[in-house]
Chain A
Amino acid sequence: MLVFSLLVILIFNFALELDLQARTSLSAGILWATFIFAGTIGLNRSLAVEKDRGCLDGLLLAPVDRSVIYFGKAVGNLLFMLIVEAIVLPLFSFLYAFNVFQPGFLLVVLLGSIGYAAVGTLLSTMVVQARTRDILLPILLFPLTLPVVIAAVKGSQGFFQSLPYEEFSVWINILVAYDLIFIAVAMMVFDFVLED
């Protein structure tokens, strides 16, 4: 996941020939594309490992509510995404002489990752029980997380270009709304994902 995201950043560098001007407008998009792709790999792995080694059945035997399992896996996935981001962001900053350490931007990263992990965990729990699991997750996940991608990219861009906060605060509201709605719905339907 980590090596993959570093490679993606490298490829973007050569594919887009990032000069100083392009960097300001494209950085947000590159970073989020990297996080999203790396996140898919992490999500696929995290549940596939449980399934293949039979741990999923063990988890189901545990005398807890199903939503506890969901939150456990979701928080785990979120943590992995955040760790990768915590390594990628300073590197990005270093390689491109670009300041990403702004509290507001870090908030956007956190909110975006929460939404992505919330939906991704639920879908990957479904996908590991399917036949075509390795290719299925991105196909299912990307159309559903489009609002997260749009809002996160626009929100990050706002901070990168140091626009006044009122101009892009709406994107942060969308991220918060998305996170709340999908965590709630995922919690409601998770019982049905792991029924047997």
Chain B
Amino acid sequence: MKPKPRLLTVLDLLAAVSVLAAAGLVFFYAPVEQMMGAVQKVFYFHVATAWVGMLGFGVAAVSGILYLQREEERYDVAGSAAVEISLVFFLIAIIMGSIWARPIWNTWWTWDPRLTTAAIVELIFAAYLLLRSGVDDPERRARFSAIYAIFGFISVPLTFISIRLLRTIHPVVIGSAEAASQGGFNMDDPMKTAFFFSLAAFSILFADLLWHRVRLGELQRKVIALRFKSYEEED
């Protein structure tokens, strides 16, 4: 078995430190938003976790394409790892969003484009994992989940556009002037620092978790191979 790479340990530490530092920035450095008060602080990690969720979706689709092209097992491991991590992070983003929405919109949930799209993405992730668990042959499983990841990645923007045409109240914080009435706000500099630092911190965390999960996948494969070998020796 390969020992844990040195770089991975460094990345572990970096992820831990940067997420802690991001939390520190959010709580002590970024000012309290005037209209919404302390609940606005959810925003920093809400956007960061949602970003990680979408990042993982992208990684899954790209590794799906790469798998279909080259048929190398590591792309399959990477794709499923990305989906598993994204499932968790997207759920966190949705829950955090609900916590924010309760006082601001006076409801936990509305059928707004982003919320609905988030729910759909979450369902696609769940379906992806169910598909994987339903197919036994590893090579076939890899092909099917690659195809499903690609299909999901294409259909989600269309879903987003469709629902956007239906209705919207989600604030567009960056690059929008008329969001204030929907709970949007303008970020001043310390807020921006905390925001972008959180984004970076969660991206590092994502890379770290992905690497760990890919390693785990490879070890899993090795265990299965060894088990087969031991059966053959018994016979």
Chain A interface residues (CB < 8 Å from chain B): 119, 122-123, 126, 129-133, 136, 139-140, 142-147, 150-151, 154, 170-171, 174, 177-178, 181-182, 185, 189, 192-193, 195-196
A147 touches B134 (CB 8 A): no
Contact A174 B162 (CB under 8 A): yes
Q: What is the minimal beta-carbon distance from A85 to any residue of chain B, in angstroms?
A: 22
Interface size on B, residues (CB 8 A): 30
Q: Is the CB of A140 within 8 A of B127?
A: yes
Contacts of B134 in A (CB 8 A): 130-133, 136
Question: Would you list which residues of chain B between 171 and 218 have a CB under 8 Å from chain A?
Answer: none
In the bound complex, do residue B147 and residue A193 qualify as a contact, i.e. CB atoms below 8 Å apart?
yes
B133, B140, B158: most-surrounded residue (chain A CB, <10 A) = B158
Given the interface pairs A143-B124, A181-B154, A189-B68, the reply to whether A130 lies near B166 with Cβ below 8 Å is no
Of B124, B130, B161, the residue contacting A136 (CB under 8 A) is B130
B151–A129 CB distance below 8 A? no
Q: Say whether chain A's binding surface is mostly helix, strand, loop, or mixed.
A: helix
**Is the beta-carbon distance between B151 and A131 smaller than 8 angstroms?**
no
Interface pairs (21), CB distance under 8 Å: A130-B131, A131-B135, A136-B130, A140-B127, A143-B124, A144-B124, A145-B155, A147-B155, A147-B158, A150-B159, A151-B162, A154-B166, A174-B161, A174-B165, A181-B158, A185-B150, A189-B150, A192-B143, A193-B144, A195-B140, A195-B143
User: Is B120 engaged at the interface, CB distance under 8 Å to the other chain?
Assistant: yes
CB atoms of A147 and B147 under 8 A apart = no
Cβ-neighbour of B147 out of A126, A133, A142 (below 8 A): A126
- What CA separation (Å) do A192 and B163 show in the bound complex? 32
Residues of A within 8 A of B144 (CB): 126, 129-130, 193
- Chain B 124-148 interface residues, beta-carbon cutoff 8 Å to A: 124, 126-127, 130-131, 133-136, 140, 143-144, 146-148
